[in-house]
Amino acid sequence: MSRKLPLGKGETARTACARGLLRTGVVEKTGEVLSAAVLAEWVGWAADLASVMTAGLLAAHWNVADVGRLASGVDAGGRALPSNAWMALRRLGWTVEVGEGVKVNDRIVRMAQEQAGRTLRSAAWRADLTAGVLAAWPCDPGRRTPGEWDAVREAIPDGWHLPSGVIRSRIRQIAAFARQYGRLPADVFELEAALRRRGCCCCPCDGQQATLASWHEMGRMALMHHLSRMVGRASELSEARRLLGRTRLLTLTGVAGVGKSRLALGVADVVRGDFPDGVWTAELAALEDPNLLPQTVASAVGLRDQAARSAVDVLGDHLRDKRALLLLDNCEHLIEPCALLADRLLRRAPRLCLLVTSREPLRVEGEAVLWVPSLPVPEPHLRHSPQALARYPAVQLFVARAARVSPSFTLDAHNGDAVALLCGRLDGLPLAIELAAVGLRTLSPEQVLDQLDQWLEPVAGKAAAGESMAEEAGATRARHRTLGAAVDWSFDLCSPAERTLWARVSVFAGDFGLPAAEEVCAGDGVDREDVLDLVAGLVDKSILVREERGDEVRYRLLETIRRYGRARLAGYGQAAALRRRHRDWYRALVHEAERQWLTARQEEWLTRLRGELANLRTALEFCCAEPGEARAGLEIAAALWPHWICGGSLAEGRHWLEQALWLAPEDSVARGTALWVDAWLAALQGDTASALPRLDECRELALRLGHEPTLVRATQHRGALALYEGDFPRAIRLIEKALEGHRAARDRNGMMTALYQLTMACALSGDARAAVYGEECLALCEAAGAQWARSYALWALGLHTWHRGDRRRATALVRDALRTRWVVRDGWGMALCLEVLAWTAAFGGQPGHGARLLGAADAMWSSLGASPSGFRHLAAVHDEVATRLRTDLGTRAYAAAYRAGARLTADEAAATALHDPPRLRPHGRSAASAGA
């Protein structure tokens, strides 16, 4: 039985399949008929692959000009064809001639007829298949048949990595369906669940090896945003879009709880198509240190603060030519720093637009301000039918939230008046309405109104007494008091233990897990075994927001709720004690991460530390602000060296280390550790002038304390400085001495980094021991299962083999390293890989490919605020390669290829680097001539 793909008007099955493939970037336009035919054969749709090939469809759809472009490796738009399009041609045995028409190799017919079962059902083809099917897959189950579902489900290869383009397409489809129909598709997760059961996961270009649970949760969140978070905001959305067309800085202002952040996210989604270079959101609610504002925004944009230059300069350079939108969310506690940053970015990036949420404007030149009002409410003292009430956005929001906590709730003639009065008493504030709706779990709307009235009466009295203020300002203050009364009422609804836990979890910044809550919040009236039930109770009351991050459930407080909890905690006199317990939990966490760094959990720890950044900052801020706690800050900041280096946060690491070193000047092992870590970060930034004094002090301190491990580290990093400065003999001598110390102490972290540095130093100096050190480093990492560390060993060995002239093996080694670094989003490591792969291409007869990779590498260096010229051990070869490529290609061709590489995103650059440039062998030519 044939199965048909649901088609748009005027489409054929092959066109629809090809459209899906094109949308995900699997092939370009010139390959659509081929890819559609392959899809049609495998899924069982009405097309016979052999007859397609032999009936001359290709000749009909691929004219001579198309074939000429194929032979030269470009499409009609002048872009290079994706490598997987060429791989598809090669798998099917295609050869073509430029001339009177297209000649099809007879092997394609035999393969289609005799070997389709074995060849077309390979995992590689099924990957292309599922990418195309998913991209064209309709959300509405009414538009597809059970047979189609069975065919797609059977086609999924076990353990397949889903391309990021498909993921993004799938999320967009679901969100569009939700907007159009106002509901989730009935089987929105049916296909994803099948993929997940087979162990399928996202590909490395999504920055993680996560199960599909993570991205299908992203899709759910995107849907809920459109379904429930934009109630009654059509006019504000329209006005914000209009203003963004006229101004480059738009600030959404309004009282707490009015929905500024939700509106801003909706605006960003609506205007996304107007900003082809990107739309980014920097969440600032949990940021307390204004000095970290530029780094936080740079991280949101995808930059790593690994440069000695200021993060503002790096950010400005990165955004200079981009038509992009940057959302700065929750700026009210950082008004002046945000205003300064906005002004500098707008001056340096003339095509950049900023969207800001804050309780007050930034007051920057050119700023447009849009006041976000409360939701419209029914007129008081008037009777309304349920149908009339349902037209008011405040009532719509209340009903939607009420249905979540009490599925049987409906708006009717009996409860309509109470609901209308309730929304009016709460001034149409969305957060207050959501908190009030939670009461319907145990109360009727009338009872909720009666209880809230007891809290709102004092507010009304204060407003009536009034101060001499403008009417609008008075209304604003009244709404603040209304929200406060609603939060007070929600607090009163909680049990005594829930109130205590609410106050205690407010010490967390961002989100937190259950083990952290149990460790930090238990005791003094809250039993550890009760924490789970108390957390569940706060989730039920909409105080805590429950979220899933991979396999872990996380919880967070909305910012208004968190500030309320902190005020309560201070009132209990427990703030300092809870913050200290919070600090101790995260100090233990980072020490455990350091101990387990060179293990199979390396990537897991990196992901976890990145996710805990807001809490780590809060712990460090406590150490720096509280007298007598600075030494603990030294320990935390120093133990976080894996995160500072691999996570691309060198500047922030130095920020915390320098603060703690200044606050804790007394001799201690913790200070010694912080000194060599700070020197290491400075060296990686090319800041030798700062690194040397730190290492001198570290060595002197180690001698005073008689602490050998600290002395060994000081010696190692003096050798690393010599390496970066191009003094290879001195580097080798010092690092070898340090390696002996690490071996004696059985310090595997130290051994790994020393072996890696020795491999580099020996490779660059032509010392044959590079192979010995590199292989030992690789064996150590593989025995530990430490994939990120292994990638550095591979890169160093690749550098050595390139210097030895074995470019093929060097390419393989560095590509292997790049795959891991791509997964963990190690920008520094990716730049190193792109750099060396550009060298191998340049000296391997691929000058165009080499120039593109060199452009991509330089763009990535620039995004890090760094350059090979800052490191003498790389600078000489970099310059030599650029000169060679310019000579081989000519100045104009080199510049064009270089610019093309520089325009690639990080994902595109990595994908380009992992494949050889496409070459299609014309029919009848020998392999030797084709490769010449």
In a domain, 402, yes or no: no
3-state secondary structure 529-568: HHHHHHHHHHHHCCCEEEEEECCEEEEEECHHHHHHHHHH
Judgement on whether residues 679 and 543 belong to the same structural domain of the protein: no
In a domain, 929, yes or no: no
CA distance 391 to 376: 10
The two structure tokens encoding residue 332: 């009210």
How many beta carbons lie within 10 A of that of residue 340, not counting itself? 17
* Among candidate residues 129, 156, 191, the one where a domain is terminated: 191
* Among candidate residues 572, 600, 635, the one where a domain is terminated: 572
Judgement on whether residues 303 and 238 belong to the same structural domain of the protein: yes
In degrees, rounded to 5, the angle at the alpha carbon of residue 310 between the alpha carbons of residues 307 and 315 is 85
Judgement on whether residues 140 and 233 belong to the same structural domain of the protein: no
In a domain, 809, yes or no: no
How high is the pLDDT of residue 485? 81
* Among candidate residues 768, 803, 838, the one where a domain is terminated: 803
Rounded to two decimals, what is the model's pTM?
0.70
The two structure tokens encoding residue 862: 């620039």
Judgement on whether residues 269 and 184 belong to the same structural domain of the protein: no
Residue 924 in contact with residue 97, Cβ under 8 Å? yes
Ranges of the chain with pLDDT below 70: 1-230, 305-308, 455-480, 550, 865-873, 916-932
How high is the pLDDT of residue 161? 45
CA distance 823 to 406: 43
- Bridge-based pairing state of the strands 353-358 and 368-371: unpaired
The two structure tokens encoding residue 661: 């070193």
Residue 95 in contact with residue 921, Cβ under 8 Å? yes
Judgement on whether residues 711 and 851 belong to the same structural domain of the protein: no
Paired strand residues for 368: 250
How high is the pLDDT of residue 869? 59
Residue 818 in contact with residue 830, Cβ under 8 Å? yes
Judgement on whether residues 530 and 639 belong to the same structural domain of the protein: no
- The structural domain count of the chain equals 5
Judgement on whether residues 296 and 186 belong to the same structural domain of the protein: no
CA-based nearest residue to 209, from 240, 252, 164: 164
In a domain, 548, yes or no: yes
How high is the pLDDT of residue 96? 30
Judgement on whether residues 243 and 349 belong to the same structural domain of the protein: yes
In a domain, 412, yes or no: no
Judgement on whether residues 227 and 323 belong to the same structural domain of the protein: yes
How high is the pLDDT of residue 457? 56
Residue 236: which CATH number? 3.40.50.300
In a domain, 440, yes or no: no
Judgement on whether residues 166 and 226 belong to the same structural domain of the protein: no
Boundaries of domain holding 779: 582-803
How high is the pLDDT of residue 692? 94
Judgement on whether residues 714 and 766 belong to the same structural domain of the protein: yes
Judgement on whether residues 246 and 343 belong to the same structural domain of the protein: yes
In a domain, 199, yes or no: no
How high is the pLDDT of residue 822? 81
In a domain, 398, yes or no: no
How high is the pLDDT of residue 503? 94
Residue 564: which CATH number? 1.10.10.10
CA distance 591 to 586: 9
3-state secondary structure 466-523: CCCCCHHHHHHHHHHHHHHHHHHHHHHHCCHHHHHHHHHHCCCCCEEEHHHHHHHHCC
